[in-house]
């Protein structure tokens, strides 16, 4: 034993040292800890708080696809400009960026916050039709101001299945995976 | 609960191949190049089988479009070690791509050769990248894939019916191959709904000239074929040609 003591000690130390970066990478990975992610940087720091709490807008006022289709959809710039053409934008960098993009005919490349893998097909409309509220999965987005939206719910398969079982929804694989 | 099925009228089929192309476009099936065919690794969820009837000069080209038969006793299902292929309650034989580990047992056990393995990462020319169907998963290397009876259309129609608070109507939607068929040889629908065209065909025409491919294996395929027996060819067959 005495003979191998230094070897065993070396191996133990190496294991600990190697485990640290592995654990650090895993802890930051999206699919192991979806809710522990830092808020994603967006091209425009869009404050939901101002629009929902300040203006009293409903989620589906802008996310129009949510009640009728699979995707909740992010509104087109034209839609933003319906209101923002009368909102003063000078000296407000985020709004200037919006107007500039609109005038030059570009789109805003938003970063997706709630990511599902490509082999999962989630349909917003049927969930809302069943009686769920947006906040059941997305949290109180209305109180999320700058810098942006944070994911509050796990949204991994276990989460989906638990909810499907509790509400008597189908749990066939092909309901979501095809 | 519907039970999906298909009737293919071979007397109407002209072998044009529209079903193959439509399926390829709808289901994000990669483009098969010539050497892929030589290696017998081409992916075609529905394929056209050609055979000859008679001998030159009295020869006729015949075609059979072959999609997955969606057997009710599917031989591919029990052999999967990870339950990646299974039967839905609506009679569709489904492949769960994210569960598949690529053992290929199912393809070996399939008598119709309608299961395809992704030997490579799928590739499309740049000009076709934007035509991929967002409602269908792009299968990555190492998983099995197959005809799904356009499950994305099934799910979409069911959701739409649910949103409008009604039941699915007969022939409300159809698969890509049936939609593209110019001769309307392919009919898809709910076998249990007496108003659907496919159920009416199964109740009438199938009794006169219907059969199912390799029916005697007892796997209960959901795809029916219609074909009038050509007396001339049948006679030749019996006379030893």
For residue A109, tell me if it sits in a domain: yes
ipTM metric: 0.82
Q: Is the pLDDT of residue A68 over 80?
A: yes
Contacts of B98 in chain A (CB under 8 A): 117, 119, 177
Chain B: nearest CA to A10, how far in angstroms?
38
Q: Is the pLDDT of residue B95 over 90?
A: yes
Q: Which pLDDT score, from 0 to 100, does residue A89 have? A: 87
- Which residues pair with residue B115 across a beta bridge? B146
Note whether A68 and A98 are same-domain residues.
yes
The 3-class SS string of B149-179 reads CCHHHHHHHHHHHHHCCCCCCCCCCCCHHHH
Provide the domain count of chain A: 2
In chain A, the percentage of residues whose pLDDT exceeds 90 is: 59
Note whether A64 and A103 are same-domain residues.
yes
Q: How many whole angstroms separate alpha carbon B144 and alpha carbon B122?
A: 12
Note whether A18 and A92 are same-domain residues.
no
Note whether A145 and A94 are same-domain residues.
yes
Note whether A113 and A145 are same-domain residues.
yes
Contacts of A117 in chain B (CB under 8 A): 98
Candidates A132, A168, A174: best to mutate against B (most CBs of B within 10 A) is A174
Q: Which residue, A144, A151, A46, is CA-closest to A94?
A: A46
For residue A36, tell me if it sits in a domain: no
Owning domain of residue A24: 1-30
The average pLDDT across B135-143 equals 94
Note whether A49 and A5 are same-domain residues.
no
For residue A90, tell me if it sits in a domain: yes
A6 Cβ neighbours under 8 A, 6+ residues apart? none
Q: Which pTM does this prediction carry?
A: 0.85
- Closest-CA residue in chain B for A157? B98
Q: Which pLDDT score, from 0 to 100, does residue A80 have? A: 92
Asked if the Cβ–Cβ distance from B163 to A177 is below 8 Å, we say no
Q: Which residue, B95, B116, B98, is CA-closest to B47?
A: B116
Q: Which residue, B100, B80, B82, is CA-closest to B143?
A: B100
Note whether A25 and A50 are same-domain residues.
no
Torsion sign over Cα A122, A124, A128, A132: positive
> Phi, psi (5° rounding) for residue B115?
-110, 140
Note whether A76 and A152 are same-domain residues.
yes
Burial class (CB in 10 A: 0-12, 13-18, 19+), B229: exposed
Note whether A102 and A166 are same-domain residues.
yes
CB–CB of B84/B8 below 8 Å? no
Q: Which pLDDT score, from 0 to 100, does residue B236 have? A: 67
Q: Which pLDDT score, from 0 to 100, does residue A1 have? A: 63
Note whether A135 and A54 are same-domain residues.
yes
pLDDT tens per residue across span A10-42: 999 999 999 988 888 877 777 677 777 788 889
Q: How many whole angstroms separate alpha carbon B58 and alpha carbon B66?
A: 26
pLDDT tens per residue across span A120-174: 999 999 999 999 999 999 999 988 888 788 888 888 899 999 999 999 999 989 9
Asked if the Cβ–Cβ distance from B97 to A129 is below 8 Å, we say no
Q: Is the pLDDT of residue B240 over 60?
A: no
* DSSP code of residue B73: T
Give the relative orientation of helices A77-84 and A93-103 as an angle to the nearest 10 degrees: 120
Provide the domain count of chain B: 1
The 3-class SS string of chain A reads CHHHHHHHHHHHHHHHHHHHHHHHHHHHCCCCCHHHCCCCCCCCCCCHHHHHHHCCCCHHHHCHHHHCCCCCCCCCHHHHHHHHCCCCCCCCHHHHHHHHHHHCCCCCCCCCCCCCCCCCCCCHHHHHHHCCCHHHHHCCHHHCCCCCCCCCCCCCHHHHHHHHHHCCCCCCHHHCCC
For residue A72, tell me if it sits in a domain: yes
Owning domain of residue B37: 4-238
Within an 8 Å CB–CB cutoff, is residue A173 touching chain B? yes
Asked if the Cβ–Cβ distance from B152 to A118 is below 8 Å, we say no
Q: How many whole angstroms separate alpha carbon B18 and alpha carbon B39?
A: 24
Q: How many whole angstroms separate alpha carbon B42 and alpha carbon B171?
A: 31
For residue A35, tell me if it sits in a domain: no
A85 Cβ neighbours under 8 A, 6+ residues apart? none
Q: How many whole angstroms separate alpha carbon A121 and alpha carbon A116?
A: 8
CB–CB of A49/A155 below 8 Å? no
Look over chain A and give the mean of its residue pLDDT values, rounded to a whole number.
Answer: 89
Q: How many whole angstroms separate alpha carbon B136 and alpha carbon A121?
A: 9
Note whether A70 and A144 are same-domain residues.
yes
CATH code: domain of residue B22: 3.30.70.20
Q: Is the pLDDT of residue B235 over 60?
A: yes
């Amino acid at each position: 034993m005495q003979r191998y003591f230094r070897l065993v000690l070396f191996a133990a130390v190496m294991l600990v040292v190697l485990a640290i970066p592995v654990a650090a990478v895993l802890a930051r990975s999206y699919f192991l800890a979806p809710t522990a992610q830092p808020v994603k940087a967006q091209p425009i720091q869009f404050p939901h708080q101002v629009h929902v709490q300040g203006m009293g807008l409903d989620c589906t006022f802008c996310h129009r696809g949510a009640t009728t289709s699979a995707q909740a959809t992010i509104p087109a710039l034209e839609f933003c400009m319906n209101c923002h053409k009368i909102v003063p934008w000078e000296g407000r960098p985020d709004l200037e960026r919006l107007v500039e993009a609109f005038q030059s005919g570009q789109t805003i490349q938003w970063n997706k916050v709630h990511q599902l893998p490509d082999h999962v097909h989630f349909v917003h409309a049927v969930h809302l039709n069943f009686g769920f509220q947006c906040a059941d999965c997305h949290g109180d987005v209305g109180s999320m101001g700058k810098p942006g939206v944070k994911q509050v719910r796990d949204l991994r398969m276990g989460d989906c299945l638990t909810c499907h079982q509790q509400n008597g929804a189908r749990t066939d694989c092909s309901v979501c995976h095809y | 609960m519907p039970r999906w099925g298909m009737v293919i009228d071979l007397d109407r089929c002209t072998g044009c191949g529209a079903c193959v192309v439509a399926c390829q476009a709808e289901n994000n099936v990669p483009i098969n190049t010539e050497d892929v065919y030589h290696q017998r690794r081409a992916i075609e969820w529905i394929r056209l089988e050609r055979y000859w009837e008679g001998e030159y000069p009295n020869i006729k080209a015949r075609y059979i479009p072959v999609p997955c038969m969606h057997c009710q006793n599917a031989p591919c299902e029990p052999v999967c070690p990870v339950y990646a292929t299974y039967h839905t309650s609506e009679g569709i034989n489904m492949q769960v791509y994210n569960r598949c580990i690529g053992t290929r047992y199912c393809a070996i056990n399939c008598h119709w050769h309608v299961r395809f393995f992704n030997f490579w990462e799928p590739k499309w020319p740049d000009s076709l990248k934007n035509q991929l169907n967002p409602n269908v998963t792009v299968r990555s290397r190492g998983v099995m894939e197959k005809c799904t009876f356009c499950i994305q259309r099934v799910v979409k129609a069911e959701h739409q019916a649910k949103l409008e608070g009604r039941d699915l109507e007969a022939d409300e939607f159809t698969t890509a191959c049936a939609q593209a068929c110019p001769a309307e040889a392919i009919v898809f629908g709910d076998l249990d709904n007496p108003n659907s065209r496919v159920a009416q065909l199964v109740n009438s025409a199938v009794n006169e000239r219907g059969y199912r491919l390799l029916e005697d294996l007892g796997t209960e395929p959901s795809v029916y074929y219609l074909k009038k027996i050509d007396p001339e060819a049948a006679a030749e067959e019996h006379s030893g040609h």
